[in-house]
Chain A
Amino acid sequence: MKKLTYVMSLFVVLAVLLAACQPAATPTEAPKPQEPAAEVAKPTEAPAEPAAETSFAGQTLRFLTIQPHNVAAQNLATWFEEETGAKVELIVVPYDNVIEKAVLDVTSGANEVDVIEYWYPGLGTMVENNVLENLDQWYVDNADWLKADDFFPVYFDTFTKIGDSRYGIPYDGDMHLLWYYKPLLEKYNLQPPATWDDYLTVCKTITEGEKGEAYGCAIMGAKSPLILIGSYLNRLGSFGGSFFDADGKPAINSPEAVAALQALVDESKYALPTPSAVAFDESLGAWFTAKAAMVEFWTDLGSMTDDPASSKIVGQWGVVPLPKGPGDKGKTVASVNAGFGVGVSTGSKNKDLAYAFLAFVANPEIAARYNTVVGGIDPVRKSTLDNPKFVEFVGAEVADAIAKAHANAVVWPTDAKWFKLQEPLTDNLSLALTGEKTPQKALDDTQKTWEEILGQ
């Protein structure tokens, strides 16, 4: 008993000590930017006009953001505080938890969050649950400086619009491109693939040639909707298929959709072992260490790859659009996997401050800042691609690939039912990858489940 008392008091003393030194150590109390942020935290340009008018000194805003964008959010917090005096407290959650956290926060009435960064396929779900403020009037009031027509239309409409209303602004425009490691392709005299057939050949040749030292491709097939459906959509879109037909009815077992899944299954036999267990981390790990010759990844991979601290292949990579599908229906696409918007929570207790922050994030000049530091935020405005600073930051090759890709963007559904639909699809895709179901059967089953859910 005595011993327990001792230890308990030890813990209490420890706690007090920790508490005493904690203000210096936590970003909440004193936002201490991380190293990459430190360089950019001192803006050289003049501060932006719209947000600077009011002072919010002493107030605190809570910004719900995703873990991969933690660094970017910390930059935003620092800049916003410099400009308005308001503190920004970050609520950082894993990327696949953000919608549930936001919905739970508002529907329970906890209302801890003011501004939300959301994964766009969850937009309908959030609007249905009344999580996001309607921004129609806001867009009218701020049209002057906002220059909404500068947003890429595909992001602007997909990320923010449900029915005829808008509920957020585009923030991070994430598309997949095909990245390749030059030395491995050169070793086997291969060109970056133009079609999915080429892709299979390249992947197979390298994998068979390297005998386990490296693999022709890494395919992300881990069982999480964002990851697995993303890889599938890269093929589905270019094969000319889609989730729904022109009338909005499920079309997930169309011949094109089945062929696209068949391609995914065929390719996965030669991919980095094994697609079913490969998510971001595994894919990136293999890419940085020259173990995978091709990866489908977001547009910011280039700047990450050129960081010698984590990568062994600095400057040895190239990038092309995703391969084209076969036949008449085949086309080149850039699928918008991931992609994030920012909106104001209906539960915000300080709406003025929340809207000020929204305006700050939407501000083209601020966007130019966060698009040119490592932080995973890819441009959503056309003008950013012409910005010399951005072109220098990502390299001309990537900027060019992004520009071309926009013409061919394919997107995920944002309907309120989508969160119910994506889970059975993920199950069945995963079952096809493991060989428990044929692609035809997997997609037939998905079609059936979707019809049931939508029929309710």
Chain B
Amino acid sequence: MEDVKGIEHFESAVHAFEQKTPAFYLNRIFFGRPARIILLLLFILAILLPIFYIAMTSLKEPIEIRTSGALLPRGQITTINWVKAFANVPLVRYLFNSTVVAVISTILVLLVAVPTTYSIIRFKTGGWFLPAWILGTYVMPPIVVSIPIFAMVKMVNLQNTLAGLILVHMMANMPIAVWLIDSYIRSIPRELEQAAWIDGYSKWETLLRVVVPLIRPGILATGVITLILSWNEFLFALILTYGVKSNTFPIGISRYIGEHGLQFGEMSAAALAGIVPIYILVFLFSRNLVEGLTRGGVKG
């Protein structure tokens, strides 16, 4: 019992007091290491299997895809689906459009959301109402407002342009950005800011010179999350854009469904072409992303 220090949680407690009761065996089964490892490996498998499956599908001969659902290609491995995906659909242009929309809308979101969140938390601007309104906007199904939004975009003559989509994505992602940055700003000790005020900083200066540097990880995480949300967005892109000029990637790949049969191979290849850039981002920023997401969701 002398060495409890540093032992984590309750597993050691189980070892220390080996009471041979049914509850003890239950503990062993459900809290034991082998059970844990198996559980976690299953989890990893479950996540990866579908992704692996489409990767394999994209390498199968079209006729093989239609006849067999086996995971691994049995016949010749082929790149025909990849070649066709890029040849038949202007994927490069779709990826370009998506990139432009996602990057610019993200920058705009951050420019708006950071000061807003700061103001709401430090100066209680808008009282309880503004945060509730922001959250309410976030949980509203976009389909509800699609028609008026379409009309407004048309009013400023931005239909079928990337600029129009950028604005809509910026506005649609703003609430979630505020929600995510919220907890980072709360975590800054008030004393730091008060010190800055005493030094004669204005509120803007305090925000830019004291707060922003401190919440960099939060801004980073929020930025990547809104980038990805914009990249994946479907409904507004479907309604607001026409044709190759402004269609984004999700709209582009949905194009494979049609009368002459769903080309699963080509569609898998096209889908992967759009997913991979996102996955690279995820791997680069996984730590920040996890933190950003979890802080927003749990601690507020």
Contacts and interface: CB of A to CB of B under 8 A. Distances in A.
Given A289-B67, A310-B63, A92 B243 contact: yes
A304 interface: yes
A143 interface: no
Interface string B45-69: 0000000000000000011001100
B154 A109 contact: yes
Nearest to B106: A8
B261 A22 contact: no
Nearest to B103: A11
Interface string A262-296: 00000000000000000011001100110000000
Interface string B80-103: 000000111010110110011011
Q: Is the interface of B mostly helix, strand, loop or mixed?
A: helix
Q: Which of B86, B243, B281 gathers the greatest number of chain A CB atoms within 10 Å?
A: B243
A21 B86 CA distance: 13
A34 interface: yes
Given A91-B242, A110-B160, A280 B150 contact: no
Interface in A11-65: 11-12, 14-15, 18-19, 21-22, 25-28, 34, 62, 64
Given A7-B281, A15-B96, A94 B245 contact: no
A67 interface: yes
A101 B93 CA distance: 22
Contact of A108 (B88, B150, B216): B150
B254 interface: yes
A112 B160 contact: yes
A309 B93 CA distance: 28
A25 B93 CA distance: 8
A68 interface: yes
Contacts of A25: 86, 90, 92-93
Contacts of B259: 67-68, 95, 280, 298, 338, 376
A46 B254 CA distance: 38
A285 B66 contact: yes
Contacts of B223: 4
A35 to B, nearest CB: 8
Nearest to A297: B259
A1 B220 contact: yes
Contacts of A66: 258
A3 interface: yes
A281 B266 CA distance: 14
B111 interface: no
Contact of B62 (A92, A109, A281, A309): A309
A113 interface: yes
A288 B66 contact: yes
A104 interface: yes
Nearest to A8: B103
A249 interface: no
B159 interface: yes
A411 interface: no
Contacts of B95: 18
B20 interface: no
Nearest to A16: B96
Contact of A95 (B62, B100, B159, B258): B258
Contact of B257 (A27, A94, A101): A94
Contacts of A12: 103
Contact of B261 (A15, A27, A112, A284): A284
B90 A14 contact: no
Contacts of A112: 159-160, 242
Given A18-B96, A22-B92, A281-B261, A113 B154 contact: no
A14 B262 CA distance: 30
B242 to A, nearest CB: 5
Contact of A22 (B93, B224, B239): B93
A94 B258 contact: yes
Interface in B229-280: 239, 242-245, 254-255, 257-262
Contacts of A34: 87-88
B170 interface: no
A3 B284 contact: yes
A90 interface: yes
Contacts of A26: 90, 92-93, 244
A91 B244 CA distance: 7
A430 B259 CA distance: 21
Nearest to A280: B259
B181 to A, nearest CB: 14
A256 interface: no
B243 A90 contact: yes
Interface in A212-233: none
Contact of B262 (A7, A28, A281, A289): A281
A310 B266 CA distance: 13
Given A18-B95, A91-B242, A289-B63, A110 B159 contact: yes
Q: Which of A11, A14, A298 gathers the greatest number of chain B CB atoms within 10 Å?
A: A11
Contacts of B102: 11
B261 A280 contact: yes
20 contacts: A4-B219, A4-B223, A12-B103, A15-B99, A22-B90, A22-B96, A34-B87, A90-B244, A92-B243, A92-B255, A94-B255, A110-B154, A112-B159, A112-B160, A113-B242, A284-B261, A288-B66, A289-B67, A310-B261, A376-B259
List the 4 shortest-distance A-B pairs measured between CB atoms, nearest first: A68-B259, A281-B262, A18-B96, A284-B261
Given A22-B93, A310-B66, 20 more contacts: A8-B107, A14-B99, A15-B96, A15-B103, A19-B96, A27-B90, A64-B242, A68-B260, A90-B244, A94-B254, A104-B150, A110-B154, A110-B160, A280-B259, A280-B260, A284-B260, A288-B261, A310-B62, A310-B63, A311-B63
